[in-house]
Amino acid sequence: MARTLAERSGADYLKVGLAPLLERISLYHGDVAGMAAEFEQLLEQRRQVEAGSSAFVADRSPADMLAIWLALQDGPEAGKLTAALHAACARHMAGYGMIVIPPFGVFPLRPKDAGQPGVRNLQPWVQLLSHGLITGLALHFVGMQKVLSIPRDLPPDAWCDFVLARVPG
């Protein structure tokens, strides 16, 4: 959907997949500071790419990144690192015009492709937890007026029209 929205609106499409991050953080095995540095580096790379665009649509947001961090962080130093990453995500997302949240349960849960990094949990209730966390973080960072939740009963082929009709100015 992000690519189609970008094409139809004339904005840049930014593919910000999290697979490279997931691949790298699996190397840290308890090194929370090293893992935090990877998150901060990806967030900075993302900021630079976004700054080079006058208008963009991305397939993920820093709220997705923070949700992953919250699931993985552990250890005595994690509190300070989490606070710093939270603040960085808040600063980063402050300028976002809109965050679009698709309805839960409309995308099929498929096993990850062979050779794809990370872990994909196919348990739908774990997916619901992630969906709720990302939605809540988006609301937390940009406010209710900038979060657009696509209605569950809207067919996927109508999603782009629904979103584009609500894009500000």
Instruction: Give pLDDT < 70 ranges for the chain.
Output: 17, 26-27, 112-120, 169
Exposure string of 42-68, with b = 16+ CB inside 10 Å and e = fewer, is bbeebeeebeeeeebbbbbbbbbbbbb
> Which pLDDT value is given to residue 169?
64
Residue 39 burial by Cβ neighbours in a 10 Å radius (0-12, 13-18, 19+): buried
The pLDDT, as a whole number, for residue 105 is 87
Q: Are 142 and 94 in contact (CB under 8 A)?
A: yes
According to the model, what pLDDT value does residue 76 have? 78
pLDDT given at position 74: 74
Per-residue model confidence (pLDDT) at position 112: 65
Q: What is the structure's pLDDT at 165?
A: 96
Written out in words, the top-level CATH class of the domain with range 2-164 is alpha beta
Answering whether pTM is above 0.85, one says yes
Residue 115's pLDDT is: 62
Considering Cα of 66, then 70, then 72, then 77, what sign does the dihedral take? positive
Q: Residue holding tokens 């990144």?
A: 65
What is the rounded CA–CA span in Å between residue 8 and residue 14? 14
Task: Give CB contacts under 8 A, 24+ apart, made by 41-47.
Answer: 43/85, 43/88, 43/89, 43/92, 46/14, 46/16, 46/92, 47/92
Number of alpha helices (DSSP H) and beta strands (DSSP E) in the chain: 7, 4
Within 10 A of 126 (CB to CB), how many other CB atoms are there?
12
CA atoms within 13 A on the CB side of 140: 17
| Cα–Cα separations (whole angstroms), residue 89 to 40, 54, 81, 101 | 9, 20, 12, 17
